[in-house]
A and B are shown apart, each in its own frame.
Chain A
Amino acid sequence: MKKILVLSALISVLCAAQAYAVDSTGCGLGSLAWQGERGKVAQLFAVTTNGTFGSQTFGISSGTSGCDPNGTITGGTRRMAVTFLENNLDQFALDASRGEGETIETLAGILKVDAKVLGAKTKDNFDYIFDSEDVQVLNVALKIFEIANA
């Protein structure tokens, strides 16, 4: 019987360890969430230069990280803006519909335009920027470049 007691205690320890491991998310499993897709930007460039649009659509943004394999924000204004929108499109859509918010401020910073003006413009042109529920991120980006400079 002693054996069973010991075995039961051992199993419990393992369970405990696992509970800790699972929860210290980030310490353990959380890091998995960090693994972005490699080569996404290269891929993005490929599609852009081919004159077609990226496949990222509305609502994917949370969870998939389309960032640089090295993990840093990089590139010129437009590339940065596209990457930012690609990763934050569903939040940007909300901010655009109301004309203010953190993603608008960020985008205004990238594009070096005034956040209030950009907010007002995206609100006024919301139907134009988001013309269908299957809108694609590069389309959104191109329209924003257009209205931001208008």
Chain B
Amino acid sequence: MRFCFLQFFLFILLNAQVVLAEVKASNSVDEFSALPSWLSLVHYKKNLLGNYKSSIDTDSFFLAKNGKTSPKAELKATINLFNSDDTKKKCLFPARYKLLTKYFSLRPYPKCKELKKFYSDIQPAGVSILFTDAYMNNPSSMFGHSLFRIDTKRKGTQMLAHGVNYGASVDETKTNPVIFAILGLTGGYYGTFTVKPYYDVINTYNNIENRDIWEYNLNFTDEELDLFVAHVWELGHNMARYFFFSKNCSYILLEILDAIRPSLKLSEEFPFHAIPLDTIKAVVSRDNLIKNIHYRPSRQAKIRYKYKQMNKRQKKNYLELIKDPNSPLDDLTSKESVGVIETAYQFLQYELVKHEIDLKTFRKKSFVLLKRRNSYKENDLMKELKAGNNPAKSHESRRLSIGWGLNNNKSFESISFHPAYHTLTDDNYGLLMGAEIVFLDTELRFYNENKFVFQNLDLVRIKSLSPVDEMFNPLSFKISSSVERVVNPKSKDEGYISKTEFGLGKTLKIEDNFYLYAMLNNSLSLGGFMPHNSSYSVGVEGGVLLNLSPVALKLSSERLISTSDFSAKAKYAGELGFHINKNFSLFMEANIKDNYHRDEGQYLSGIRVRF
């Protein structure tokens, strides 16, 4: 009997504890479901009406039917899952378990075979956020791309770490650029996560696309690292709608960082658009988040750096060697030869990737080179490229300019703004010399006779001055599309035209900061303001770009032939930026048009602020 009683007593006691735990849980479910750590782990964002909605779009990420919009329902469903027998599902949500088990009494986490394998393959030692820099001759790549690396504790190097990339999942064979653009902007694609060995990342960016990689090692605790890997596992099975401007590769990374350390509040800084480099700047700006910064130059940057260090004889021999791998290196010492051969081999690798030589040629030439290299005992004495200008320290992307000017002797005040990104006369620390990209540049003018006018809207303006040298032979180009206010040279009336311009040319590098260029331009102007509603011009342009920090100077002159004498015969332009610091500068601009002796001059000077 006593035995029975004891049993009964124990039974009551046990039940009471369970009930107690549940009561405690139900009280705290309300509270807990509103905590940033829960909200950010399920990627909830508040919309304008104050309702929650998760950024993740696949049903499998939610356990409650209304889980996408209800943090509380999702929390309840998650707690229920962890107290159920559904091992398979539990194994999909290790990060949620790690978080919830600190606050709720949950059953022990099951042994998950696949998850365990993921950990043992990855062997996590830390997390880095990576920024892949601009590639040559592509100004818009200045926006960059970002991804994560889960650093490894495997023996060897971080080549054995893993990259975690988020990108739109696009079937290349079934799309064309227009559809790609439309779907990309409207969320027509889903973004997915991919995990790849870091050597694959290096090959993709450093070696194929020739972009530098910047590695920002994050200062995560062991617990944060553990949660990060678990969260990547959770997300890896799910997708979110992908928007190129807003919910893009870089933005989602910020949501992940917020999930690991909610106090960072990174994603809320980018409600409308997330430029990858801007997101990196936000990450770098947080206290106690970045441990180290490491630079991995692109193959092209390494080749250029080595070539620059060569003496005259080395250069001459090198240029012969990249054409003929058997070319004798007669007048070089052994020490001088080694670096020349190694660089020549890297140049062959570059050519292969660029499809400038075929695989067969590559094998033949490289085999000869490597055998020659192997015959020397000496090491390459040239320095390796180890440092660069940290792009996270470049100027901010929005620019407001205020100026005072003269338009054919009429004075005006001007205010202009663009949300992104860089012009040739801005401070170019951390950015590509000779590359310009501007989006939605708008100028308003206020003339002193009390007239307020909309001067121009440049939808996009891209200019790439990419220098030609003994090894590389890129085309320079420009593209622009704008709506502009122009003067009718005959009547002196003003009106609007829509103008599209495209130019191709070559750039010569005199010094690293001194370029000369020549371009052949085509431009088409449309608008009822003009006679015949349109005008087409062909022009030859020559120019100078000089960057002597803190001064940047751009000069150009262009001769044009047009279908209408509405367009100018010649144009001369000059622009000077004087940088007080990277975000604040003074500027002067002059634009002179010569149109059959009806000259037109526009002069403007003022201040520019980037923020």
Binding site for B on A (CB under 8 A): 1-2, 4-5, 8-9, 11-36, 57-63, 65, 67, 70-74, 84, 87-88, 90-91, 93-94, 96-98, 100, 102-103, 105-110, 112, 123, 126-127, 130, 132-134
Within 8 A of A (CB), among B326-345: 338, 342, 345
CB closest residue in chain A, given B349: A90
Chain A residues, Cβ within 8 Å of B345: 94
Whether B528 lies near A5 (C-beta < 8 A) is yes
Binding site for A on B (CB under 8 A): 117-118, 121-122, 132, 138, 140-141, 143, 145-147, 154-157, 159-160, 162, 165, 167-170, 172, 177-178, 180-182, 184-185, 192, 194-197, 199-200, 203-204, 207-209, 244-245, 248-250, 276, 338, 342, 345-346, 349, 352-353, 359, 362-364, 366-367, 370-371, 373-374, 379-380, 439, 459-460, 462, 479, 481-483, 496-498, 500, 526-528, 533-534
- Checking B168, B177, B346 against A18 with a beta-carbon cut-off of 8 angstroms, the contacting residue is B177
- Checking B249, B359, B481 against A27 with a beta-carbon cut-off of 8 angstroms, the contacting residue is B249
Known contacts A12-B459, A18-B177, A31-B194; decide if A23 and B138 are in contact (CB<8 Å): yes
A106–B154 Cα distance when bound, in Å, is 9
Whether A98 lies near B181 (C-beta < 8 A) is no
Whether B203 lies near A24 (C-beta < 8 A) is no
Known contacts A1-B533, A26-B147, A71-B196; decide if A62 and B157 are in contact (CB<8 Å): no
Known contacts A93-B366, A106-B159; decide if A98 and B373 are in contact (CB<8 Å): yes
A94–B80 Cα distance when bound, in Å, is 57
Chain B residues, Cβ within 8 Å of A4: 498, 526-528, 533-534
Chain A residues, Cβ within 8 Å of B459: 9, 12-13, 16
Whether A22 lies near B140 (C-beta < 8 A) is yes
Chain B residues, Cβ within 8 Å of A94: 342, 345-346, 370, 373
Chain B residues, Cβ within 8 Å of A87: 197, 199-200, 203
Q: Nearest Cβ distance between residue A145 and chain B, in whole angstroms?
A: 16
- Checking A15, A24, A59, A110 against B352 with a beta-carbon cut-off of 8 angstroms, the contacting residue is A59
Please give me the 3 A-B residue pairs with the lowest Cβ-Cβ distance, nearest first: A109-B156, A31-B167, A1-B528
A34–B342 Cα distance when bound, in Å, is 29
Q: Nearest Cβ distance between residue B237 and chain A, in whole angstroms?
A: 12
- Checking A19, A24, A67, A133 against B462 with a beta-carbon cut-off of 8 angstroms, the contacting residue is A19
How many A-B pairs have beta carbons closer than 8 Å: the answer is 249
- Checking B118, B122, B156, B180 against A21 with a beta-carbon cut-off of 8 angstroms, the contacting residue is B180
A104–B208 Cα distance when bound, in Å, is 21
Q: Nearest Cβ distance between residue B383 and chain A, in whole angstroms?
A: 15
A63–B245 Cα distance when bound, in Å, is 28
Q: Nearest Cβ distance between residue A124 and chain B, in whole angstroms?
A: 9
Q: Nearest Cβ distance between residue B227 and chain A, in whole angstroms?
A: 19
Whether A21 lies near B363 (C-beta < 8 A) is no
Known contacts A4-B533, A84-B199, A106-B157; decide if A19 and B363 are in contact (CB<8 Å): no
Whether A108 lies near B156 (C-beta < 8 A) is yes
Whether A24 lies near B196 (C-beta < 8 A) is no
A18–B527 Cα distance when bound, in Å, is 24
CB closest residue in chain B, given A132: B367
Whether B143 lies near A62 (C-beta < 8 A) is no
Chain B residues, Cβ within 8 Å of A5: 483, 496-498, 526-528
A127–B375 Cα distance when bound, in Å, is 10
CB closest residue in chain B, given A31: B167
Q: Nearest Cβ distance between residue B207 and chain A, in whole angstroms?
A: 5
Chain A residues, Cβ within 8 Å of B195: 70-72
Chain A residues, Cβ within 8 Å of B168: 27-28, 31
Chain A residues, Cβ within 8 Å of B177: 18, 21-22
Known: A18-B178, A133-B363, A133-B364. 10 other contacts (CB 8 A): A5-B528, A14-B178, A19-B479, A20-B140, A24-B244, A26-B147, A34-B200, A63-B208, A70-B195, A106-B159
Q: List 24 A-B contacts (CB under 8 A).
A: A5-B526, A9-B498, A12-B460, A17-B182, A18-B177, A19-B479, A23-B138, A28-B180, A28-B244, A31-B165, A33-B209, A34-B167, A58-B367, A65-B200, A65-B203, A71-B196, A72-B121, A73-B160, A73-B197, A91-B349, A97-B374, A98-B338, A105-B156, A123-B374
A70–B200 Cα distance when bound, in Å, is 13
CB closest residue in chain A, given B134: A23
Whether B170 lies near A28 (C-beta < 8 A) is yes
A2–B498 Cα distance when bound, in Å, is 10
A103–B553 Cα distance when bound, in Å, is 44
Chain B residues, Cβ within 8 Å of A2: 528
CB closest residue in chain B, given A88: B199
Whether A62 lies near B203 (C-beta < 8 A) is yes
Chain A residues, Cβ within 8 Å of B132: 26
Whether A19 lies near B248 (C-beta < 8 A) is no
- Checking B118, B172, B481 against A12 with a beta-carbon cut-off of 8 angstroms, the contacting residue is B481
Chain A residues, Cβ within 8 Å of B498: 4-5, 8-9, 12
A65–B168 Cα distance when bound, in Å, is 19
Known contacts A26-B145, A74-B117, A97-B373; decide if A67 and B200 are in contact (CB<8 Å): yes
Whether A98 lies near B170 (C-beta < 8 A) is no
A112–B367 Cα distance when bound, in Å, is 28
Whether A112 lies near B155 (C-beta < 8 A) is yes
Whether A59 lies near B157 (C-beta < 8 A) is no
Chain B residues, Cβ within 8 Å of A98: 338, 342, 373-374, 379-380
Whether B200 lies near A36 (C-beta < 8 A) is yes
Whether A28 lies near B184 (C-beta < 8 A) is yes
Chain B residues, Cβ within 8 Å of A22: 140, 177
Chain B residues, Cβ within 8 Å of A24: 140, 143, 145, 244, 248-249, 276
Chain B residues, Cβ within 8 Å of A127: 371, 374
Q: Nearest Cβ distance between residue B106 and chain A, in whole angstroms?
A: 28
Whether A62 lies near B207 (C-beta < 8 A) is yes
A112–B533 Cα distance when bound, in Å, is 74
A13–B485 Cα distance when bound, in Å, is 19
Whether B203 lies near A32 (C-beta < 8 A) is no
A70–B118 Cα distance when bound, in Å, is 9
